[in-house]
Amino acid sequence: MAGAARVGALIRRGAPGSARVGALVRRVPRAAWLCAVVALANGLAWSLIVPPFEVPDENAHYAYVAQVAERGTLPQPGPAAGPLSPAEDDTLATIRFYEMVGEPHNPAPFSALQQDAIEAVAREPLSTRGDGDALTATNNPPLYYALEAIPYKLGSSGSVLDRLALMRVLSALMGAVTVLLVYLFLMELLPGRRWAWSVGALAVAFQPLFGFMSGGVNSDNLIYLTAAGTLWGVARMFRRGLTPASGAPIGAFLGAGLVTKFTLLGFLPAAALAVALGLWSAWSPERNAGREAGRGRDTESGRGRDTESGRDVARGQDPGREGSARRHISQRAPAVRGAAWAVGLVAAPVLGYLILNRWVWKRGSVPAIGSVSAVSPTGQHFSFGGELSHIWQLFLPPLPGMHRQFTYLPFAHTWLKGFVGRFGWLDYTFPGWVYNAAGGVMLLICALAVVELVCRRGVLADRVGELSVYVLALVGLCVEIGVESYREAILTGSVFEQARYLLPLLCLYGAIVALAVRVGGRRFGPAIGTAIVMIAIGHDLFSQAITIARYYA
Amino acid sequence: MAVRPVLASGLLVLVVAFAVLLTHAEPRRSGTDYTPNANFAAKLNPGQQTCQAHELLPADTAAVRMTIGTYGAPGSRVSVSLTGLRGEALTAGSLAPGWRQGVVEIPVAHVHVASGDATACLRNDGPSRIAVAGDSGDSFHTMQVAGRTIQNAQVLYEYMRPGSESWLQLLPTAVYRSTLGKSGLVRHWAWAGALALMGLAIGLALRTIMREGAEA
């Protein structure tokens, strides 16, 4: 809590210069760094366990980075998928990539004879330049790939596999920063019980799907980081008010996320609502007092002295209605500047990308967001009603009268099962009973979190605006995934959605865990937290065990 | 409520679970030809055989696992042989009559040294026809069935190690395999690195929650 207070004091002093950012970084609690190191170690372990290119679309993301690093340009969408670079294509063939993907019974190379062939390909002077196609990654914005070009270049004297190994290290680092941001988010969101922050962040650090993704080259890793950063910025803004120092991180992380992958468009309404509420709060002294009161009450309750109501605390501290009004009027200018920072830092990279994409890289306006023709090549018809129904059923059971969009229940089959564990190119899983057991544990943790929310309903009422932002982030992301899923179904008849697309909500996952821990109070909370972390560790270890069995047995 | 008993119980459960897992024994593969087990790729009348080239016969092979259909009849004798590039015998074996259709393991003479580019043949020595599973239609390979060349088809040969092995017994082999097909920067120490990193991650996590729990 002292760390949080110091961080808060630093932020309140003004806009973040580089010295202040440095001081801010130094004052992050030690436990937060430890959680990040845990995530880094876990991500690196996954990167060593999972064979090359066995993380979804890793071949495509590698090809994109190669295009950026080798030619300094972005991949071009073409009418049909062309060959990758000879170096990548031959490597994929010799490591038996095409035979392994989607074939859970086919192992990684098992013989020294295969290794000889792989090394022979690595020695050949094959071109590392492709024809400009990066398969499924082609339409993505370039930020992640520009960053990954650094390790790619560092490994330029090595083979394709050497470069990939170095690129995976950067992804693992992104995973570590993501967990650091989750910890900071929990600090802001749930002040008072610091062990709950650690448990929430460690639950994220050991989440197997997240660890698996952190160990591979995939732009989703930067999306997880930027999404966590955006939510941290939002939580911080709600705790401290909208100022340039609190508005800028929201815009910076969201802007960076949008030029990584358009999935983060789903966060845009939530971020807009957060900034709007920040402005409203600055214009409304009562709201501001309520926020301060809520903060005071949270802090008190954290010390086990939840006796005074928030508004009483606020009144006790307020020198008078007139003085309060003056103070809040003085908060309007920083709030407006904060909103401007947020909007500007979202708009600048996105506009820059759109301009470069169209006029420099000649890739059309926004290739990832295209309109869908009325009739698709699959013979299915696009309709707005059908799209709404598809989005609904992608996450919830169909309502009476709805035309069934799926032959299965995506909530259980895609999201729950995928979150518990479906690895590789979605080609290996746990035994069926594991999903039932995991579902029970998740239900219990959610129930504990709900109990905590009910117990703290007074605070919750004060923070209903903030809660709305997180709910909107969840809904926005689901709608974005649903739109992509529907378009993919119409255009190609294939299944788009995967559980990893929900990992931008890792902060909220950590928050649910932290809430569940808090319900135990000071007496039982640490024990509940320890149990949850042990379950997360076991889950992660068994995920790695089935990965070893799938590829090396 | 103290953190330590919960932590100790959790660790104990993990150790016991892994111990149970590691002692589970079953037949293990020495390798495969990577053919999908998609459909019946070859049908063999009595006395006919199917052969395919470019097989990688792995070391430590003592049986060949295949999926063979008998149209409901009891399985009759089938034999498998693997030969090298110059036609030399690498290994051979047969399955005595009486087996049931489905996944079968045909014992062969133990193979100590791996051979690339082997030719694998399965012969139907019985009186009734059989169907052999593999991939017909999508494969880029060719095979011979009763002397005729069949395009885009291949039979699945999975090569099995001797007897049954627990995960613990297989561990050295799994460790060796984990060094293959990876970057030269990491491949020789990847398994040890993963182990050390997970040890570090778990150690740091436990230390963090113990310290935080103590301060609570």
- Report CB contact under 8 Å: A198, B36: no
Mean pLDDT of chain A: 88
Q: Tell me which residue of A244, A110, A221, A240 sits closest to A171, measured CA to CA.
A: A221
Between CA B150 and CA A207 the distance in angstroms is 48
Q: List chain A residues with CB under 8 Å of B23.
A: none
Mean pLDDT in residue range A421-431: 96
For residue A86 the two structure tokens come to 């000879």
Residue of A nearest to B31 (CA): A110
How far lies B83's CA from each of A403, B35, B49, B51, B125, in Å? 58, 19, 14, 10, 19
Q: Does B213 touch chain A (CB under 8 A)?
A: yes
User: What is the percent of chain A with per-residue pLDDT over 70, rounded to a whole number?
Assistant: 85
More confident residue, B182 or A315: B182
Cross-chain CB nearest to B56 (options A100, A111, A553): A111
Does B15 contact A at CB distance below 8 Å?
no
Average confidence (pLDDT) over A521-549: 95
Can you tell me the distance from the alpha carbon of A540 to that of A211, in angstroms, rounded to the nearest whole number?
Answer: 8
Put simply, the answer to whether A537 touches B202 (Cβ < 8 Å) is yes
Identify from A530, A533, A541 which residue to disrupt to test chain B contact, counting B C-beta atoms within 10 A and taking the largest count: A530
What is the model's pLDDT at position A326? 60
- Is there a contact between A130 and B51 (Cβ–Cβ < 8 Å)? no
Contact B178 A531 (CB under 8 A): no
Asked whether residue A508 carries a pLDDT value surpassing 70, the answer given is: yes
Range of A66-70, A189-193, A298-302 with top mean pLDDT: A66-70
A134, A147 Cβ separation under 8 angstroms: no
Find tokens 């995934």 and name the residue.
A481
Distance CA A144, CA A502 (A): 18
The verdict on B24 touching A (C-beta cutoff 8 Å) is no
What is the spatial distance between Cα A419 and Cα A445, in angstroms, rounded to a whole number?
15
**How far away is chain B from the Cα of A374, in angstroms, using its nearest Cα?**
33
- State how far residue B83 is from chain A, nearest Cα, in angstroms: 17
Give the pLDDT of residue A365: 61
| Distance of alpha carbon A134 from alpha carbon A78, whole angstroms | 10
Banded pLDDT at B9 (limits 50, 70, 90): very high
Interface contact B205-A206, CB threshold 8 A: yes
DSSP A301: H
Q: Of the ranges A154-168, A246-260, A312-326, which one carries the lowest mean pLDDT score? A: A312-326
CA–CA dist A503, A497 (Å, integer):
12
Nearest-by-Cβ selection for B185 from A37, A51, A158: A158
Q: For the residues A192-214, what does the mean pLDDT come to? A: 96
Cα(A195)–Cα(A121) distance, rounded to whole angstroms? 51
Q: Do B183 and A37 touch (CB under 8 A)?
A: no
Interface size A-B, in CB pairs within 8 Å, comes to 201
| Å between B216 CA and nearest CA of chain A | 6
CB contact under 8 A, A548 and B59: no
Bridge partners of residue B158, in order along the sequence: B32, B65
Residues in chain B within 8 Å Cβ distance of A535: 10
Q: Which value, to the nearest 10 degrees, does the dihedral of the CA atoms of residues A211, A212, A217, A218 take?
A: -90
Site of tokens 């690498």: B90
CB contact, 8 Å: B89 with chain A? no
Q: How far is CA A34 from CA A179, A216, B161, B207, B210, in A?
A: 10, 22, 44, 9, 13
Task: Say whether residue B67 is in contact with chain A using an 8 A CB cutoff.
Answer: no
Top residue of A90, A111, A194 to mutate, by most chain B CBs within 10 Å, is: A111
User: Which pLDDT belongs to residue A314?
Assistant: 39
Find the helix or strand (DSSP H, E) in which A231 lies. helix A220-240
In this prediction, residues A296-306 reach a mean pLDDT of 43
pLDDT at residue A482 is higher than 60 = yes
Name chain A contacts of B172, Cβ cutoff 8 Å: none
Instruction: Give yes or no for B192 touching A (CB within 8 A).
Output: no
Q: Which of the four pLDDT bands, split at 50, 70 and 90, describes residue A297?
A: low
**Chain A hits for B208, Cβ within 8 Å:** 31, 34-35, 38, 198, 202
The stretch A80-96 carries a mean pLDDT of 89
What integer pLDDT is reported at residue A286 of this predicted model? Answer: 63
pTM: 0.91
pLDDT of A328:
61
Task: Tell me which range, A18-32, A105-119, A286-300, is most confidently predicted by mean pLDDT.
Answer: A105-119
What does the pLDDT read at residue A370?
45
Q: How far is A58 from chain B (nearest CA, A)?
A: 14
Q: Which of B4, B26, B182, B200 to mutate to test the interface with A (most CBs of A within 10 A)?
A: B182
**pLDDT at res. A193:** 86
Put simply, the answer to whether A530 touches B34 (Cβ < 8 Å) is no
B212 contacts A166? CB cut-off 8 A? no
Ramachandran area for residue A304 (φ above 0: left; ψ -120 to 50: alpha; else beta): left
| Position A542 confidence tier, pLDDT thresholds 50, 70, 90 | very high
A164: chain B residues, CB-CB within 8 Å: 183
What does DSSP assign to residue A413? Answer: I
Put simply, the answer to whether B32 touches A115 (Cβ < 8 Å) is no
Chain B hits for A165, Cβ within 8 Å: 182-183, 185-186
A 10 A CB-CB count for B136 gives 19
Q: Chain B contacts of A541, Cβ < 8 Å?
A: 14, 18, 198
Tell me the C-alpha distance between B184 and A163, whole Å. 10
CB contact under 8 A, B10 and A531: yes
**pLDDT in the model for residue B215:** 73
**CA-based nearest distance B151→chain A, Å:** 18
Distance from CA of B127 to the nearest CA of A (A): 32
Would you place residue A283 in the very low, low, confident or very high pLDDT band (cuts 50, 70, 90)? confident
Per-residue pLDDT, averaged over A371-381, amounts to 60
Per-residue confidence (pLDDT) for residue B58, from 0 to 100 = 97
Exposed (0-12), middle (13-18) or buried (19+): which is A83, by Cβ within 10 Å? exposed
Q: What share of chain A is helix, strand, coil (3-state, %, to 5)?
A: 75, 0, 25
CA distance A248 to A530: 36
| One-character DSSP codes across B69-100 | E-TTSPP--EEEEEE-TTS-EEEEEEE-TT--
Write a three-state SS string for A119-179: HHHHHCCCCCCCCCCCHHHCCCCCHHHHHHHHHHHHCCCCCHHHHHHHHHHHHHHHHHHHH
Share of chain B above pLDDT 70, in %: 98
Which of A46, A101, A106, A110 should we substitute to test contact with B (largest number of B Cβ atoms within 10 Å)? A110
In this predicted model, what pLDDT tens digit does every residue of A48-78 receive, in sequence order? 999 999 999 999 999 999 999 999 999 987 7
Bridge partners of residue B120, in order along the sequence: B52, B82
In chain B, residues with a C-beta closer than 8 Å to the C-beta of A37 are 200-201, 204
Partner-chain residue, chosen from A38, A119, A164, that has the shortest CB–CB distance to B204: A38
Q: What residues in B contact A552, CB-CB < 8 Å?
A: 174, 177-178
Cα B84 to Cα B52, B87, B120: the distances in Å are 12, 5, 9
CA distance A482 to A493: 14
Question: For residue A69, which of A216, A176, A217, A178 has the smallest C-alpha distance?
Answer: A217
Residue B185 at interface with chain A, using a CB cutoff of 8 Å: yes
The three-class DSSP label of residue B54 is strand
pLDDT tens digit string along B47-77?
999 999 999 999 999 999 999 999 999 999 9
Report whether A420 contacts A507 (CB < 8 A): no
Mean per-residue pLDDT over chain B, rounded? 94
For residue B45, the SS3 value is coil
Query: Which token pair is A87?
Result: 């170096």
pLDDT of residue A313: 37
Interface test with B, best of A116, A519, A528, A533 (most B CBs within 10 A): A533
